[in-house]
Amino acid sequence: MQSLLNSLDTNHSGKLDENEFKEICRQLGFDASAAALTGLFHRYDIDRSGKLSKEEFGKLILKEGTGGTKAKKAIARMREVLSLRAGGFPTMKAMGTQFRIIDRDRSGKLSKEEFNIALDCLFKAYKVTFSVTEKNELYNFFDRDGGGVDYNEYIRSVRGDMNEFRLNWVDQAFNIMDKDGSGVIDMQDLTSTYDVSQNPAVMSGKQSPAEAYTVFMNNYDTSRDGQVSREEFIESYQWVSASIDNDDYFELMMRNAWHITGGEGWCQNTSNLRVLVIHFDDSQEVVEIQDDLGLNKNDYQAVMKKLAAQGVKNVKAFKLAS
């Protein structure tokens, strides 16, 4: 078995990606569809790194090793059902309200009795139940300091956090918004970067531009202090990331959402403005406008300024590309 793991770990990282995982399953004769194997992979990829260590594979898939595994397996069941059922991780985010209701003494942590009630309530809709032994191990796993189960620690363990690849994209998006480099996004940063004029609610008259900016800020400003810190911005995307299995799709989503130019294959940006540039010699070319977040495409001079900044010369005119 170890030789098979080593032969597929071509980059000698000590970890297996999803394709390597599926190949091992195939060679071991696992009779399952590709979709089922994908679900199995993500069940055990608890930290959502997109990789399984060879030790994790051996212990969790082949059931090697003993002691303390019931909690990990129970967490894997939680992650599996949240990954595969409609509403999954976004629904889990709303569980915070239920946690606070169950936290009768308002300590901010759940006692063992409260934690058991929470498990029964929160996963009842997914038809997932836990044995007494599993509940005991889960409580001991989450109760790091002996004072009860903290909801945020529970979330991090079940939801997992973004890998470095995804964190890099979120950092890029934050830096686009943080125009003055202050380390926080405030309303001035937002209004100078983000154009809400094409927001459907604004266009229909249901929201004023000011209201649209406030709604946008509230999506990230969890502390409600009028500023979005990098930590708040990243935490918002932790939830988005939890519902996206594929790193390439995450990259595409971030490129298009924040108008980050570039990308290869199906990760290529498609949201940035493209214009048909007509030169003075009547030659033509399609040019992608870089860093166009908030740019009004109908502002002729603003688009011309962007073209000049990108080094596009001898521009007689341009047309919006279809």
- The mean pLDDT values, 10 residues at a time, for the chain of 322 residues are 54 72 72 68 68 63 49 80 65 72 86 90 83 91 85 78 91 92 92 79 88 88 91 89 82 91 86 94 94 88 95 95 68
Element (H, E) at 222: none
Query: Does 172 lie in the same domain as 112?
Result: no
Assigned domain for 269 exists: no
**pLDDT at position 246:** 79
The whole domain housing 216 covers 164-260
132: closest CA among 115, 145, 148?
115
Q: CB pairs under 8 A, 24+ apart, for 20-29?
A: 21/52, 21/57, 24/57, 28/4
Q: How far apart are CA 243 and CA 84, in angstroms?
A: 9
Query: Does 54 lie in the same domain as 17?
Result: yes
159: closest CA among 242, 250, 45?
242
- HSE, CB side, 13 Å, CA atoms: give it for residue 156: 10
User: Residues 260, 254: contact at Cβ < 8 Å?
Assistant: yes
Assigned domain for 266 exists: no
Ranges of H-type helices in the chain: 2-8, 18-27, 34-44, 54-56, 69-84, 88-102, 112-124, 132-142, 151-159, 164-177, 187-193, 200-203, 209-220, 230-242, 247-258, 300-309
Total domain count for the chain?
4
**pLDDT at position 86:** 52
Query: Does 72 lie in the same domain as 32?
Result: no
**pLDDT at position 113:** 92
**pLDDT at position 144:** 76
Indicate the length of the chain as a whole number.
322
Residue finishing a domain among 260, 284, 312: 260
- 49: domain CATH number? 1.10.238.10
Helix (H, G, I), strand (E, B) or coil at 272: coil
**pLDDT at position 265:** 83
Angle at which helices 209-220 and 230-242 cross, to 10°: 80
Query: Does 231 lie in the same domain as 169?
Result: yes
Residue 197 corresponds to which tokens in the numbers above?
């004029």
Query: Does 192 lie in the same domain as 133?
Result: no
Assigned domain for 268 exists: no
Query: Does 202 lie in the same domain as 131?
Result: no
